Amino acid sequence: MTSHRLLSAIYLALSLAMIAWDILVAGRIAQLRRIPRGFQAITGIAGLLLVPALVVAYTAQSLLYGRAIFLVAWLWPFTALMFVVQTVYALGRRLVTPLLGFPLLIYNFVIAVVAVTKFVITRGHSPTEFELALNAAQASMLGTFFGTAALWNPIYIQVPIFAPSLPARWGFTRLARVALAGAAIAMTALVVVELPGAFAGIKSYAVHDTEKLQEHPEGDFKIGLKIFPDLRSGPPPVAITNDLALADTLDVDAISVVIDPEAARGVALDSLARSIEQARSDSTILIVALGYPKKGENEFKQSREAYTMARLKDVDRIARRLKPDYLIPATDPLEEGARVLGEQSPQYWIDYFTRAARVAHYIYPRIRVSVPMSSYGTRDSTLYAWAARPGSPIDAVGFSMLAGFDGARSLDTHMRVAQRWMRQFPKPKEHWVFAAGGYPMVHGEENQRRTIWGVLAWATAEVPIKGLVVYEGGDYNSVRGLRAAGGRLRPATDAILIAEKGLRASAQ
């Protein structure tokens, strides 16, 4: 088990314990007559709403079910605020010792501010800098347990804790109180530690406001859009409707899809082919990336060669059925691949991409097999140097340029590293930015717009780079789309329209 998986398991166990604790405390307080009626009412209402509110907090951020839940998205911030009121009441009436009550108050206050901040963002408004920084600091704390997924996966939420107003009956209960309070204090401390960096991260985006796109009179720079969630079956109807309409509105030059192995066969692959048939009829470039199976770790451990052969068969089916213009045989091999399969040597991936290129070129020679780079360490440099050198079977090399926990600071570093890599070759191969985007529910929608604009400005100024794919069409399983769960288009959409208009005007 990797460190992140172990930490995420611990966090999940703590969260379940906190939920059980809250329900238990709410039930006990409701039964005692000596407790003030107002305190009973606040605790009872918050305890009753906790589980439904957590479900709403998760589902309301996805277009797949957000339309039905969006109208009650206020339930989570309301419930989080009720926990703050309950803790303040308990402290004010001396129903809980300050040694326990004050840490719980700060802990619940952080959760409530973050919940309200996210709610404000979903309504299309801009929170204050403090609210955004606290929101980003909490995401960084969650990143300690879950890695980068804490930036875009809506399932990672902190659970508030009731202030206990009753004496502990047994030694075990007393121990549980100490453990939960200790966990709350530790998580709050982690948020506080991350707060200065979060402020700096929020401010780091401003530099991209004044950047300008480089003109391309030859019209050789393309802007694309990643559509649909990562597919394990056919595309959801809501995604087909929304994303293809958005691609048409933006008049993008390319569309990109990620197909997990479960969808790289049979009915699911046919459904995808039919869904994008109309979009491809107007010469739109198709970029297809192959993801990882749900049980990829177990399959890989059982037999590396059997796993590799299975993925090569997926490449074969995708090439035959979809005939993509660009094919990425494995998404983010040294980041996502390492998370799913475990850390593999660059040589394994070199061998895999070589074999995948041989398969794709045999079926359809015009397919441009591509290698994506999403992290920028020594191992990535080795893979890049192989893929980009003349004579390798790779036709194009791509970068992933997404914001990080520290905002645009790591993004700017990655762009400088990528620029240095490209300078190694006097006549570099074709390059793309296969993923460009930010995290609107963590750093705000305006900073998502600044991220995409900044990467566009950088990419258009780099001669080898011929295109950029915006991540992504909508909020499905990841919250980083141009379309929010309620159906509203975010400000980054206007930035893309401006970029498209400017590039096309310069090509006339």
Complete DSSP assignment for 1-39: --HHHHHHHHHHHHHHHHHHHHHHHHHHHHH-TTS-HHH
Q: How far is CA 342 from the centre of its chain?
A: 20
pLDDT of residue 139: 96
Bridge partner residues of 289 (DSSP)? 258, 328
Q: In angstroms, rounded to a whole number, what is the distance separating the alpha carbons of residues 114 and 126?
A: 13
Task: State the residue for tokens 């056919």.
Answer: 234
Could you tell me if 54 and 159 are in contact, meaning their C-beta atoms sit under 8 angstroms apart? Answer: yes
Helix (H, G, I), strand (E, B) or coil at 258: strand
Q: Which of 105, 106, 104, 52 is nearest to 78 (CA)?
A: 52
pLDDT of residue 183: 85
Domains and CATH numbers, the chain: 3-205 (no CATH), 211-370+430-506 (3.20.20.80)
Q: In angstroms, rounded to a whole number, what is the distance separating the alpha carbons of residues 389 and 339?
A: 27
Could you tell me if 470 and 499 are in contact, meaning their C-beta atoms sit under 8 angstroms apart? Answer: no
Q: In angstroms, rounded to a whole number, what is the distance separating the alpha carbons of residues 284 and 282?
A: 6
* Each residue's pLDDT expressed in tens, for the chain with a length of 508 residues: 456 678 888 888 888 989 998 998 888 888 777 778 888 899 999 999 999 999 999 888 888 876 678 889 999 999 999 999 999 999 988 888 888 888 899 999 999 999 999 999 999 999 999 999 999 999 999 998 898 889 998 889 999 999 877 655 555 666 777 777 888 889 999 999 999 999 999 999 999 999 999 999 888 999 999 999 999 999 999 999 999 999 999 999 999 999 999 999 999 999 999 999 887 777 899 999 999 999 998 999 999 999 999 999 999 999 999 999 999 999 999 999 998 998 899 999 999 999 999 999 999 999 999 999 998 999 999 999 999 999 999 999 999 999 999 999 999 999 999 999 999 998 899 999 999 999 999 999 999 999 999 999 999 999 999 999 999 999 998 999 999 998 899 999 999 999 999 998 887 6
